[in-house]
Amino acid sequence: MQPVHKSQKLAKVCYDIRGPVLEHAKAMEEEGHRIIKLNIGNPAPFGFFAPDEIIEDMIANLQNASGYTDSKGLFSARKAIMHYAQEKQLPGVGMDDIYIGNGVSELIVMAMQALLDNGDEVLVPAPDYPLWTAAVSLAGGRATHYLCDESEGWLPDLDDIRAKITPNTRAIVVINPNNPTGALYPDWILAGLVEIARTHQLIVYADEIYDKVLYDGAKHTSIASLAPDVLCVTFNGLSKNYRACGFRAGWMSVSGEKKHARDYIEGLNMLASMRLCANAPGQYAIQTALGGYQSIDDLVMPTGRLGRQRDLAHKMLTEIPGVSCVKPQGALYLFPRLDPEMYPIVDDQQFILELLQQEKVLLVQGSGFNWVAPDHFRVVFLPNSDDLTEAFGRIGGFLENYRRR
């Protein structure tokens, strides 16, 4: 029999959050080991469930949800999304500018497939949520990574962005609040990004899936609200703000200057039609979620579970010698740095694998987020305080041994 090879299209595609170390962890679990998982931003297994009213409405609508919906999505859900776009001051978002997908993930892939020809470039942050880089590569494009500056609270480095623009650059991706750094961008940075997009005619892809997961009373500005004259595509969904990842309900809203983008929008419409529609029960949850009680606000308060766990995780990590970390202002993650003098790591995947094998704690290495050096890892602070405390104790012990090597 001829060997069956994967497509050449996948040659440059990489998604390490669910990569080889996770496979190793699964095998260890099958052998009976208990592993503390600080690796995936999936709230439900840690007791963060979707609000009851969403689930009740979804159940009540299950029978209606047995047919296909419009390819762009249910009218009532898109209407609620349109109102949310108005609340966030996204300019010129009508019903036809909204696309509902099986999570934001599907729409990211779709948006890149509709845009890119071989050799086109997209500016993607480093570190990034790696689906963006993977989706650009899968579509035949090239992700050019622009630096986010840790010494400046992980804000995008505008000079680095300008220096990386070429005649092939088509778009810029902005992840705010950021995964993996937890950074929340102030308006002056967003305005700087818009200015660059305007000058170089770039499309802005704004991934704002954590726009309600904000700490210390912070406020979120949608970059599209500052860019009425720039084509922006803003992504959001139920996965994080409403702890409903499994419902696979996400959306994208096209705003700003659209006249010159009719052909691209036609491409988006075609791809939306080709997959018929997004999962309908998940769509029925959207209106209730957006219009209902915003219980995320209780969780992110200093006394709320997420607020407390963020503080605990940051404190415990930064007490370990040689570990520094910008305190996250949003999202569910920390992206700490290991001092390379104390921890001369060469291969950060190997480092994370050794930690897993020795301490039964699962993290994701910084290079999994297209970070440029083997000196960072990502921590998810969803596990409860007892598990976090145990995990950081074990990480501290592992690092102490590592220093002595």
Q: Which residues bind ligand PLP (CB under 6 A)?
A: 41, 103-105, 129, 175, 179, 207, 209, 237, 239, 245, 250
Backbone angles phi, psi at 180, to 5 degrees: -100, 0
Q: Which is nearer to ligand PLP, 147 or 175 (CB)?
A: 175
Rounded CA-CA distance 322/340 in Å is 8
* Residue 108 Cβ vs ligand PLP, minimum distance, rounded to whole Å: 7
Q: Which residue has the tokens 């404190």?
A: 315
C-beta nearest to ligand PLP: residue: 103
Measured from the CB atom, the residue of 284 and 402 that comes closer to ligand PLP is: 284
To the nearest 10°, the Cα dihedral for 161, 365, 207, 181?
Answer: -70
> What φ, ψ does residue 330 adopt, rounded to 5°?
-155, 175
The least CB distance from residue 244 to ligand PLP, in Å, is 9
Buried b (16+ CB within 10 A) or exposed e, 91-102: bebeeebbbbbb
Q: CA separation (Å) from 131 to 14, 55, 136, 314, 359? A: 8, 28, 8, 26, 28
Tell the smallest beta-carbon distance from residue 127 to ligand PLP (Å): 11
Report, in Å, the least distance between residue 249 CB and ligand PLP: 7
Minimum distance, C-beta of residue 303 to ligand PLP, in the bound complex (Å): 25
Pick the closer one to ligand PLP by CB: 129 or 264.
Answer: 129
Nearer to ligand PLP, 132 or 343 (CB): 132
Minimum CB distance to ligand PLP, residue 248 (Å):
7
Q: Tokens 């308006």 label which residue?
A: 187
Shortest reach from residue 335's CB to ligand PLP, in Å: 13
Shortest distance, position 382 Cβ to ligand PLP, whole Å: 11
The whole-angstrom separation of Cα 125 and Cα 335 is: 14
Instruction: Give CA separation, 394 vs 69, 281, 398, in Å.
Output: 49, 41, 6
Comparison of 107 and 391: residue with beta carbon closer to ligand PLP:
107
Q: Which of 129, 103, 96, 133 is nearest to 116 (CA)?
A: 133
Q: Residue 205 or 264: which CB sits closer to ligand PLP?
A: 205
Closest CB to ligand PLP among 16 and 207? 207
Q: For ligand PLP, which is the closer residue by CB, 206 or 352?
A: 206
Q: Which two tokens stand for residue 64?
A: 């209606």
- Given the DSSP bridges, would you call strands 203-207 and 36-37 parallel, antiparallel or unpaired? unpaired
